[in-house]
Amino acid sequence: MSAVAHEPLTPAEGLLEIFLALDTPEGFRAELIEGEIVVTPPPDGEHEKCISRIVRQVIKHSRTEMDFSGNKGLKLRSGEACPKNHVVPDVTLAPLDLDLFASADSWMPCDGVAMVLEVTSTKPKADREAKRRCYARGGIPLYLLVDREASSVTLFSVPEKDDYREHCTRSFGKPITLPAPFAFDLETADFL
């Protein structure tokens, strides 16, 4: 019987294989962000309050009827040195008529996603920088970041290569305009 030779895995492929085999504790989530495995504990109540307030406004006020998923895994394009990013936004929003989430695997491509939402928690730098770059590389049109430490909301738009070309930041308490397909002013007074 002859042995079958296997091509050795590159370090990036090995890391991706390890990541996909992780068994995280209940309530925790694991992500592969720019070549680093990041494990996040369950969110606190204020984190979930911000998400709830935003999703309720999106459902009520968006010009386009939106579907959403909490903690949906997205496979995003990566830089040359790191494996495919596997990122889990707090909320992923897409037009309802696309029906993106019904038949999606645990990790789905980001095609058709209109906006992702992150509320900072234990690792705010990842939300502010690494995830922002990942979402831009993935071509996600809008990234809404609720930065609890800075008491602000930032909307990143016009993704190009490794970042977003435009952003608008408002302090908690001031509305921020979400462009089409949402087309309404998001109120942030409840975040104070």
Domain ranges of the chain: 11-191
What does each of the 192 residues of the chain score in pLDDT, given as a tens digit? Answer: 445 556 766 777 777 777 788 888 888 888 888 888 888 888 888 999 999 999 999 999 999 999 999 978 998 876 554 557 889 999 999 999 999 999 888 889 999 999 999 999 877 998 999 999 999 999 999 999 999 999 999 999 999 988 999 999 999 999 999 999 999 999 999 998
pTM above 0.95, yes or no: no
HEC sequence for the chain: CCCCCCCCCCHHHHHHHHHHCCCCCCCCEEEEECCEEEEECCCCHHHHHHHHHHHHHHHHHCCCCEEEEECCEEEECCCCCCCCEEECCCEEEEEHHHCCCCCCCCEEECCCCCEEEEECCCCHHHHHHHHHHHHHHCCCCEEEEEECCCCEEEEEEEEECCEEEEEEEEECCCCEEECCCCCEEECCHHHC
CATH of region 11-191: 3.90.1570.10
